[in-house]
């Protein structure tokens, strides 16, 4: 593993040093280096600096230029306008840097962060005995991408699937099962998720009918909640049955999503049950929480209801029951004190933002969170239907995830099939690719817009070959693989002595940015920036194909080799980037 500094960061450093040399009184000033259309880069920082120090910007720009070290990095530098620097790099520097990336295996020269810590990511958290919905899908997809990206940058990541497996609703379910033994469960294969869900649905509906119509059943269901909380073994065993049946269903959906979820990482609400009392006791003793109308509450100056009264976070209800907040506060203690996390990341619907704001602030007051141990919600928006309303079926019910994924795969398979003959795919390959393209389309749509924005779920657009879609990226990758197969004897070899065409330079400079983009994505929890980077990479590749032939008899051998080298590095970068987003890149498409 050898990390490779990007050309931009090397240049930035050289400029900063030159700036200090030319103007010692400036201290450590930022040359504000940006990519530019006029040259490769433009440094805009000199202008402001000269103004601040009452100097002549153009003169200062000239001094900075003189102070730059002679070397092989810069080909051309000119002072432009009121005092900008336009900088063009040598082709040699570009090719040599890319060659260093290519020599670094899967890491592609991306450094492992020196100051990495431990992040606990709370994501993919469906609810027991309930159908998963598109919101759960978003959490899973975005969360999984963040897990991969943070791990790649060197962070220690602990996954936590905070499933909803506890609470009063289980009283009704368990009591029903107690009175109607054997009604839960399904015939057929162990892994039959749909059968598991319909069995859960059946019990849910039947128990609901009883609960709503039979007062005595209702009372027995309430007593059952008490028995559950008291840890009555028979009650717990029935509860466990609901959890196990639900997990069969969850795993089938995650499997369809081509996503790995591991049992030990599923620590649902029930997992913090033993901590709730202590959490409340600490909060009360430290005065963070106070008694109000019989409930234990935390108040905030800036959280008020429509009537202007403060709306508290309720950690313990008047009836003595604990709710969602007490569980989340206990989970924070566990993650910070036992898992030794220094960062907590919650991939949860934006509609829960107020809850997390209050929970995090409470944890800060209690000292569980502080400046070194922080919590963040990676909030995501609502998935909308084509009509711009929250995504539902025509009948107005929640869309079943299995159906949605099946349809995406079906459409994608049709797209793959259209080209299959030309590419020479077998039926098995068509089926496999259809799955990767379909699931990739759903994931990419989720990942390619800023998470907090609502987005429209539009399958037609998602599997389109043109535009910002995963299949466009997958085709870009497969096309390169095809060229590399066709190259035969010719191998990818970097030739730093060669002059580069404009499209080669543009592609190369973009390739060099991979690590910088990943660092930004990891820092701000913004996977859409990785998606955007990869889309731009594929677009640079398209321009490159338009302007540069790779396998042409007219090309001298070194040109062929160098272009193969460029496209091969592009393929590897696409592959790694897509992998981090949880999307496969088939070899032939």
CB nearer ligand ARG, residue 23 or residue 124: 124
Cα 262 from Cα 67, distance rounded (Å): 56
- Which one of the spans 45-53, 91-99, 119-127, 224-232 is the region binding ligand ARG (CB under 6 A)? 119-127
Which long-range contacts does 286-292 make (Cβ < 8 Å, 24+ apart)? 286/365, 286/366, 286/367, 288/362, 288/365, 288/366, 289/315, 289/362
CB of 508 to ligand ARG, least distance (A): 43
- Residue among 272, 273, 326, 277 at smallest CA distance from 297: 326
CB of 243 to ligand ARG, least distance (A): 13
Tokens of 477: 């990758």
- Which one of the spans 121-129, 390-398, 471-479, 546-554 is the region binding ligand ARG (CB under 6 A)? 121-129
Q: Give me the phi and psi of 203, to 5 degrees please.
A: -65, -40
Residues 417-436 that bind ligand ARG (CB under 6 A): none
Max CA distance (Å), the chain: 90
Applying CB under 6 A, among 42, 65, 119, 127 the residue interacting with ligand ARG is 127
Residues 164-223 that bind ligand ARG (CB under 6 A): 164
CB nearer ligand ARG, residue 14 or residue 246: 246
CB of 33 to ligand ARG, least distance (A): 40
Residues 33-52 that bind ligand ARG (CB under 6 A): none
Residues 450-509 that bind ligand ARG (CB under 6 A): none
Residues 235-264 that bind ligand ARG (CB under 6 A): none
Applying CB under 6 A, among 42, 125, 229, 469 the residue interacting with ligand ARG is 125
Tokens of 578: 């897509």
Alpha helices in 426-469 (DSSP H): 427-447, 459-462
Counting residues that bind ligand ARG (by CB under 6 A) gives 9
Tokens of 432: 């496999």
Tokens of 257: 């999503």
CB of 439 to ligand ARG, least distance (A): 22
CB of 19 to ligand ARG, least distance (A): 47
- Per-residue burial over 470-509, b = 16 or more CB atoms within 10 Å of its CB, e = otherwise: bbbbbbbbbbbbebbeebeebebebbbebebeebbbbbbb
By the rule CB under 6 A, 276 interacts with ligand ARG = no
Cα 505 from Cα 139, distance rounded (Å): 38
CB of 162 to ligand ARG, least distance (A): 4
CB nearer ligand ARG, residue 248 or residue 350: 350
CB of 351 to ligand ARG, least distance (A): 9
CB nearer ligand ARG, residue 41 or residue 346: 346
CB nearer ligand ARG, residue 332 or residue 459: 332
CB of 164 to ligand ARG, least distance (A): 4
By the rule CB under 6 A, 131 interacts with ligand ARG = no
CB nearer ligand ARG, residue 4 or residue 359: 359
The secondary structure of 351-411 as a DSSP string is GGHHHHHHHHHHHHHTTSS-SSSEEEEEEE--EE-TTSSB-B-TTSSBPPHHHHHHHHHHH
- Residue among 517, 557, 518, 513 at smallest CA distance from 94: 513
CB of 175 to ligand ARG, least distance (A): 23
By the rule CB under 6 A, 348 interacts with ligand ARG = yes
Residues 317-336 that bind ligand ARG (CB under 6 A): 328, 331
Q: What angle do CA 283, 284, 287 make, to 5 degrees?
A: 85
Tokens of 369: 């969170």
The binding track of 281-320 with respect to ligand ARG, each residue x by CB under 6 A or -, is ----------------------------------------
CB of 307 to ligand ARG, least distance (A): 27
CB nearer ligand ARG, residue 19 or residue 132: 132
71 CB burial (10 A radius; 0-12, 13-18, 19+): exposed
Those residues with Cβ within 8 angstroms of residue 396's Cβ, 6 or more apart along the chain or in another chain: none
The binding track of 154-173 with respect to ligand ARG, each residue x by CB under 6 A or -, is --------x-x---------
Tokens of 24: 């010692």
CB of 355 to ligand ARG, least distance (A): 7
- Residue 380, beta-bridge partner list: 349
CB of 62 to ligand ARG, least distance (A): 57
CB nearer ligand ARG, residue 359 or residue 564: 359
- Which one of the spans 17-25, 122-130, 223-231, 410-418 is the region binding ligand ARG (CB under 6 A)? 122-130
By the rule CB under 6 A, 362 interacts with ligand ARG = no
CA dihedral 468, 470, 474, 476 (to 10 degrees): 10
CB of 409 to ligand ARG, least distance (A): 25
CB nearer ligand ARG, residue 127 or residue 229: 127
CB of 159 to ligand ARG, least distance (A): 12
The binding track of 71-110 with respect to ligand ARG, each residue x by CB under 6 A or -, is ----------------------------------------
H or E stretch covering 501: none
CB of 323 to ligand ARG, least distance (A): 11
CA dihedral 352, 354, 360, 361 (to 10 degrees): -170
Q: How many angstroms from the chain centroid is the CA of residue 514?
A: 16
> What is the pairing mode between strands 156-160 and 118-122?
parallel
- Which one of the spans 120-128, 176-184, 235-243, 292-300 is the region binding ligand ARG (CB under 6 A)? 120-128
CB nearer ligand ARG, residue 126 or residue 434: 126
By the rule CB under 6 A, 122 interacts with ligand ARG = yes
Considering only CA atoms, give the Rg of the chain: 29
> What is the pairing mode between strands 74-80 and 33-35?
unpaired
- Residue 349, beta-bridge partner list: 380
Q: How many angstroms from the chain centroid is the CA of residue 154?
A: 16
Binding site for ligand ARG (CB under 6 A): 122, 125, 127, 162, 164, 328, 331, 346, 348
């Amino acid at each position: 593993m050898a990390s490779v500094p990007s050309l931009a960061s090397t240049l930035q450093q050289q400029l900063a040093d030159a700036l200090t040399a030319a103007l010692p009184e400036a201290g450590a000033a930022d040359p504000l280096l940006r990519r530019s259309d006029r040259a490769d880069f433009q440094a805009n920082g000199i202008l402001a600096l000269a103004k601040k120090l009452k100097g002549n910007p153009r003169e200062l720009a000239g001094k900075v230029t003189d102070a730059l070290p002679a070397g092989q990095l810069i080909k051309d530098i000119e002072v432009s306008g009121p005092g900008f620097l336009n900088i063009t790099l040598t082709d040699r520097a570009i090719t040599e840097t890319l060659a260093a990336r290519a020599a670094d295996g899967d890491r592609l020269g991306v450094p492992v962060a020196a100051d990495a810590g431990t992040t606990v990511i709370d994501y993919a958290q469906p609810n027991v005995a309930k159908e998963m919905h598109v919101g759960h899908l978003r959490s899973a997809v975005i969360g999984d991408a963040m897990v991969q990206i943070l791990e790649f940058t060197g962070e220690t990541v602990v996954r936590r699937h905070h499933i909803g497996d506890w609470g009063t609703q289980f009283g009704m379910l368990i009591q029903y099962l107690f009175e109607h033994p054997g009604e839960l469960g399904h015939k057929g294969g162990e892994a039959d998720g749909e059968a598991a869900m319909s069995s859960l649905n059946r019990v849910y509906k039947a128990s609901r009918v009883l609960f709503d119509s039979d007062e005595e059943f209702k009372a027995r269901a309430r007593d059952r909640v008490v028995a559950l909380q008291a840890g009555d073994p028979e009650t717990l065993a029935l509860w466990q049955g609901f959890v196990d049946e639900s997990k069969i269903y969850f795993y089938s959906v995650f499997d369809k999503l081509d996503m790995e979820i591991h049992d030990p990482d599923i620590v649902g609400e029930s997992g913090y049950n033993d901590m709730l009392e202590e959490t409340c006791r600490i909060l009360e003793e430290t005065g963070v929480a106070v008694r109000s109308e019989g409930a234990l509450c935390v108040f905030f100056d800036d959280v008020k209801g429509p009537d202007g009264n403060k709306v508290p976070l309720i950690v313990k209800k008047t009836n003595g029951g604990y709710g969602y907040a007490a569980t989340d506060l206990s989970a924070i203690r566990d993650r910070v004190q036992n898992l030794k996390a220094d960062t907590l990341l919650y991939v949860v619907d934006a509609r829960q933002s107020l809850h997390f704001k209050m929970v995090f602030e409470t944890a800060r007051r209690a000292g569980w969170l502080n400046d070194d141990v922080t919590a963040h919600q990676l909030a995501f928006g609502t998935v909308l239907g084509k009509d711009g309303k929250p995504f539902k079926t025509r009948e107005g019910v929640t869309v079943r995830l299995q159906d949605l994924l099946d349809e995406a795969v079906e459409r994608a398979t049709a797209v793959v099939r259209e080209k299959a003959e030309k590419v020479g795919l077998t039926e098995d390959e068509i089926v496999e690719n259809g799955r990767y393209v379909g699931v990739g389309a759903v994931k990419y749509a989720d990942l390619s817009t800023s998470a907090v924005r609502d987005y429209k779920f539009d399958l037609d657009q998602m599997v389109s070959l043109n535009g910002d879609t995963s299949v466009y990226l997958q085709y870009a990758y497969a096309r390169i693989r095809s060229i590399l197969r066709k190259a035969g004897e010719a191998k990818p070899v970097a030739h730093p002595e060669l002059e580069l065409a404009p499209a080669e330079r543009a592609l190369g400079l973009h390739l060099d940015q991979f690590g910088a983009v990943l660092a930004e994505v990891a820092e701000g929890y913004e996977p859409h920036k990785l998606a955007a980077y990869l889309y731009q990479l594929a677009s640079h590749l398209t321009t490159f194909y338009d302007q540069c032939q790779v396998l042409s008899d007219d090309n001298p051998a070194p040109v062929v080799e160098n272009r193969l080298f460029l496209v091969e590095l592009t393929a590897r970068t696409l592959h790694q980037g897509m992998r981090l987003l949880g999307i496969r890149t088939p070899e032939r498409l």
